Amino acid sequence: MKFILAVALCIAFAVVLEAGIPISHTMRHDDFEPIKEDWHIPSYEYKYGVQDPKTGDHKEQWEHRHHDILKGGYMLHDADGTKRIVEYTSDPKRGFHAIVKTEGHAKHPLIYGIDPNDYEYKYGVEDPKTGDHKEQWEHRHHDIVKGGYMLHDADGTKRIVEYTSDPKTGFHAIHIPSYEYKYGVEDPKTGDHKEQWEHRHHDILKGGYMLHDADGTKRIVEQRSYCLLSNLAQVIPISLDESNRSTKS
């Protein structure tokens, strides 16, 4: 839907340019009427796991989505010998909720300080051969616990969960979406030249795409989105002749 909306903005921008009407390059998608069309209901399900006695890597992940209801979880073996299980749900009404369970007893607890309830640990795995990338950290002082973990999902995204726990407010977990991708097509036979890139960290989204229009210009669309702001798109039409001259100079 984002791509179709951005292309519609590009076409409208080209028509205004031909009419010679001066406009600003920055446009809010709120100023345009929504495009009504048939859309595909997102629905998927996957599950995978790793059991490697040599490296000690034991983890599982599963997720199921139908419409706007998401359910999933993952399991991993912590550095202290316990097994941590996280189950989460997400829907438009209640938002994101996660439940953390710990099974087993710590064989090698990492404790620092005088207070027996205080501890701190952090560990990570970075194995390019197996594709195993994960980190976990946790800190406790008296009855206040703060921690989190990061792992690379099967779809190439990076999942980050940060949590806090104390006697007054209880347990709270925040799922931080983070991903980055870039791809492009360069086909001289068909004349198909385009690129797309996008990066998200927390609630900050930045991205854009480039394509060659039929009139010989190169159109670049850059977009950004913040938690409290609407999407902003900047359309930059560039002549291929001007681009080639600037490259040669």
- Exposure of 195 by Cβ count < 10 A (0-12 exposed, 13-18 middle, 19+ buried)? middle
Distances (CA, A) of 22 to 5, 15, 100: 22, 12, 56
Q: Hey, what amino acid is at 215? A: D
Which amino acid belongs to residue 47?
K
The pLDDT assigned to 110 comes to 45
Verdict on whether the full-model pTM lies above 0.75: no
54 falls in which pLDDT band (50, 70, 90)?
confident
- Whole-angstrom Cα distance, residue 122 to residue 39? 44
- pLDDT of 225 strictly over 60: yes
Q: Delimit the domains of the chain by residue range.
A: 40-106, 113-248
- Higher per-residue confidence, 164 vs 244: 164
Token pair 């989105």 is found at 225
Q: Residue 18 has which token pair?
A: 């031909």
Residue 166: strand pairing partners: 170
pLDDT tens digits, 116-161: 557 777 777 777 777 777 787 788 887 788 888 777 766 666 777 7
Per the prediction, the chain carries an average pLDDT of 67
Per residue in 213-222, pLDDT (tens digit) is 777 788 888 8
CB 119 within 8 A of CB 137: no
Q: Is the pLDDT of residue 38 over 50?
A: no
Per-residue pLDDT, 136: 79
Label residue 112 by pLDDT band (50, 70, 90).
Answer: very low
Residue 14, pLDDT score: 47
Would you state the pLDDT for residue 177?
63
Token representation of residue 58: 């034991």
More confident position, 68 or 55 = 68
Q: Which pLDDT value is given to residue 156?
A: 66
pLDDT, residue 207, reads 82
Residue with tokens 């998608």: 29
